Amino acid sequence: MKILFLAYFFSLSLLCQAKTLSVGRNQPLKSIKAALEQSADGDTIIVTGGIYREGRILINKQITLIGKNFPTLDGQHKSEVISINADNVVLQGFKIVNSGHAALEDPCGVRVYDKNYVVIKDNILDNNFFGIYIQNGKNCIIKNNTIRAYGKQEQLIGNGIHCWKSENLQIIANKISGHRDGIYFEFVTNSVIWRNISFKNIRYGLHFMFSNDDAYITNVFKNNGAGVAVMFTKNVKMFNNYFEENWGDSAYGLLLKEIADSYIFNNRFSKNTSGIYMEGTSRIKVEKNVFSSNGWGMKIQASCMDNEIVNNNYLKNTFDISTNGSLVLNTFNSNYWDKYEGYDLDKNGVGDVPYHPLSLFAVLTESSPPTMLLYRSFMITLLDKSEKVLPSITPDNFIDNTPLMKSLPL
């Protein structure tokens, strides 16, 4: 109890001693670096509008740095713009532009070095190699930033928000475009990605690697090179996201590779080459999602097992489901398929005849892509109808025994 009282007293005394420093053309201090030299832990530095070309700005004290009217911090294509090397730092209200470009050093608009409880919010980051980089951080918040770059090749640009070996991060309501990956997680745990818009990035809107026990919720991933990739990961929750217009030869809304024990719920997959591409996945529940106007609703490779696909809507896809093998180790239950031609005599809302969502043409296209030239031909339609009556190539147990007669109101 005595120790808690002393800690409280010490924190209160620091708060009482804290001061506010002002930087600007008409202020006592003309540079941010000068204000940082005069500051102490707990202080606030307010920077008024203007352009500040001060090279790399190192924050190594527990301060709050606030910009008024978005003062511009210009790296002049030479260096990292802001380096944070202290806990409990707040960075808010700046326009941070023109970091250096170097593949070995990864210069950033803002970088956090092995620190905790850092808040980066309400900033504009423009034309930086990496936007915001959290390295070995804990309990950090990246919120309501606009992060844009103009990369043309993924080797020549970094990621918008890059997080490595961190935990308990909150990535909230950011807009990211023009980077290699919009958001990148590697060895990041117990973190949330919420209400972000990641669009027109060269590779992925979001890229997960070796990052367990995370959630991404209510984000928009649109018109990226290959959508979203979640790899070598377990216990991920993916709720209420939009995967839209991710087109390309090897593109998809969502790639799942070597992941397990995860939940994909109430997402929208629209106008992607493949809505979901699954490879080496196990114990994934895909529930109450909408797959609409995709080339393939889902591609489920033969290496996938114990996945449950239940209560989803499949609407206007060229192919609802595709696979590259004959062994079926996943279950399909109570989905709505707009291609289902069965009947419901007892009027219980469930088709009386099971549905085989894997068409013969989907199997042929998987093994020989040039057969797409025959799409919508009379011969292919005849083959598909014959296959449904007397299955010979498609697996018998690739089946939804309880197909819904009406789409779910998702």
pLDDT at 5: 47
- Domain count of the chain? 1
Q: Do the domain assignments include residue 109? A: yes
Q: Distances from the Cα of 318 to the Cαs of 271, 312, 347, 369, in angstroms?
A: 10, 16, 29, 14
Question: For the chain, what is the mean pLDDT?
Answer: 88
Whether 352 maps to a domain, the answer reads no
Residue 237 lies in a domain: no
Three-class SS state of 45: strand
Residue 2 CB contacts under 8 Å (≥ 6 apart), including other chains: none
Model pLDDT, residue 391: 54
Instruction: Give dist(CA 202, CA 206) in Å, integer.
Output: 11
Residue 214 lies in a domain: no
CATH of the domain at 91: 2.160.20.10
d(Cα 357, Cα 336) in Å, to the nearest integer? 10
Contact predicate 288/408, CB 8 Å: yes
Question: What mean pLDDT do residues 41-47 have?
Answer: 96
Q: Is the pLDDT of residue 89 over 90?
A: yes
Q: Which conformational region is residue 107 in: left (phi greater than 0), alpha (psi within -120 to 50 degrees), or beta?
A: beta
- Residue 288 in any domain: the answer is no
**pTM of the prediction?**
0.88
pLDDT for res 174? 98
pLDDT per position as a tens digit, 337-352? 999 988 888 889 999 9
Range of the domain at 113: 19-164
